[in-house]
């Protein structure tokens, strides 16, 4: 039996399959089955108040599971699907309420990965899938990362190679009076605005206390286990004398440069994003005292990366008196 056929069988039995998408690996289950979906929350150690994204094979399937399909959804899906854009819409009742943490909406996305699309088509149903990592930890961008995170709690891992986008999809809520970005990601605000006009951006980092509408967005998230700090762009002088520590900085070139426990990531937002989680994992495995991350500049094209880094790290507190 091919691994794809086994994967479909496993999903039909209400069990879990990890699969690649262009953003990160997902931990999938039948989105119509409350039992199956509950296994995702258990495997991840994820609070049931944090809704899951439902993966569909295209607009036709999306329309089956959203009870409304506004013109904004039509235009955005036409432009950005398949791709890293999740649309939050009113939920049709056949999607298990557990998927949406009890909300009456559902996040839908058509992933841009051949294996993911084949899986959804062959299964012929919606697949609920959060990132295939333990809750709050770094999202996986290779099949090996999924094994390291979840081991035997997942029935099958489909290996589609490393993810090319590397950070999660943009989550856009279309149920509010103005389209609102709930999570920045692979598709930028500027690109969305070209299609539907002005959008709002919810500042999840400061609205951390709201429950279901800002799920899972508080505290340290997307984080290594090693304590990690961020410092301002161009201020390597603040940290460079620290011993037994890891460093993530911006390279001047296009290539990744590794030297000991220092990793310089390419200074282009897309290729930085592609390698970010892998770099954090690499440093996390080295048993370091701390990891220091140089924040990329505060520019629109870096918004999604800066969002993840802000969640994965703490702000470096000012130097103690007597030091600079």
Query: What residues make contact with Mg ion under the rule CB under 5 A?
Result: 131
Task: Mention every residue, 6+ apart, whose C-beta is less than 8 A from residue 165.
Answer: 22, 23, 24, 84, 186, 270, 273, 274
CB of 95 to Mg ion, least distance (A): 19
Burial group, residue 116, by CB count within 10 angstroms (0-12, 13-18, 19+): buried
Distance of alpha carbon 289 from the chain centroid: 26
Between 41 and 247, name the residue whose CB sits nearer to ligand TXA: 41
DSSP 23: S
Q: Please report the beta strands in the chain, taking only residues with DSSP state E, as ranges in sequence order.
A: 17-19, 26-30, 53-55, 85-90, 105-109, 127-128, 156-157, 170-173, 180-183, 200-201, 228-231, 245-250, 257-259, 262-265, 290-294, 314-315
> Which residue has the closest beta carbon to Mg ion?
131
Residue 169 touches ligand TXA, criterion: CB under 6 A: yes
Taking residues 251 to 290 in sequence order and writing x for each that binds ligand TXA by CB under 6 A, - otherwise, the string is ----------------------------------------
Binding status of residue 130 toward ligand TXA by CB under 6 A: yes
Name the minimum Å distance from CB 242 to ligand TXA. Answer: 32
Q: Report the residue number, 53 or 228, with the smaller CB distance to ligand TXA.
A: 53
Count of residues that interact with ligand TXA, criterion CB under 6 A? 29
Please, which residues have CB within 8 angstroms of residue 67's CB and are 6 or more apart in sequence? 89, 90, 91, 92, 93
Query: Per rule CB under 6 A, is residue 182 in the interface with ligand TXA?
Result: yes
53 binds ligand TXA (CB under 6 A): yes
By CB under 6 A, residue 103 contacts ligand TXA: yes
CB 237 within 8 A of CB 292: no
Residue 126 binding target from ligand TXA, Mg ion, none, CB below 5 to 8 Å by type? none
Binding site for ligand TXA (CB under 6 A): 21, 23-24, 26, 50-53, 84, 86, 88, 100, 103, 105-107, 109, 111, 129-131, 168-169, 171, 182-183, 215-217
């Amino acid at each position: 039996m091919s691994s794809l056929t086994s994967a479909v069988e496993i999903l039909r039995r209400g069990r879990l399959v990890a699969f690649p998408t262009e953003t990160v690996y997902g931990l999938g289950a039948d989105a119509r089955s409350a039992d199956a979906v509950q296994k995702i929350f258990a495997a991840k150690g994820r609070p049931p108040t944090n809704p899951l994204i439902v993966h569909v094979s295209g607009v036709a399937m999306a329309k089956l599971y959203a009870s409304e399909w506004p013109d904004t959804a039509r235009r955005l899906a036409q432009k950005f699907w398949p791709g890293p854009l999740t649309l939050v819409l009113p939920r049709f009742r056949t999607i298990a309420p557990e998927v949406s943490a009890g909300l009456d909406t559902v996040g839908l996305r058509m992933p841009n990965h051949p294996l993911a699309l084949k899986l959804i088509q062959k299964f012929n149903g919606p697949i609920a899938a959060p990132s295939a990592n333990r809750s709050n930890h770094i999202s996986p961008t290779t099949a090996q990362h999924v094994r390291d995170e979840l081991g035997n709690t997942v029935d099958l891992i489909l290996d589609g190679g490393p993810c090319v986008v590397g950070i999660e999809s943009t989550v856009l809520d279309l149920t509010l009076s103005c389209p609102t970005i709930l999570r920045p990601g692979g598709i930028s605000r500027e690109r969305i605005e070209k299609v539907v006009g002005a959008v709002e951006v919810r500042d999840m980092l400061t609205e951390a206390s709201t429950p279901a509408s800002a799920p899972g967005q508080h505290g340290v998230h997307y984080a290594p286990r090693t304590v990690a700090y961020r410092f301002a762009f161009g201020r390597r002088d603040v940290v460079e004398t620290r011993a037994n520590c890891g460093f993530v900085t911006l390279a001047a070139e296009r290539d990744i440069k590794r030297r000991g426990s220092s990793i310089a990531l390419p200074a282009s937002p897309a290729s930085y994003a592609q390698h970010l989680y892998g770099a954090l994992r690499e440093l996390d495995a080295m048993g370091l005292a701390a990891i220091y991350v140089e924040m990329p500049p505060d520019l629109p094209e870096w918004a999604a990366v800066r969002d993840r880094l802000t969640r994965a790290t703490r702000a470096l507190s000012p130097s103690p008196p007597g030091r600079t």
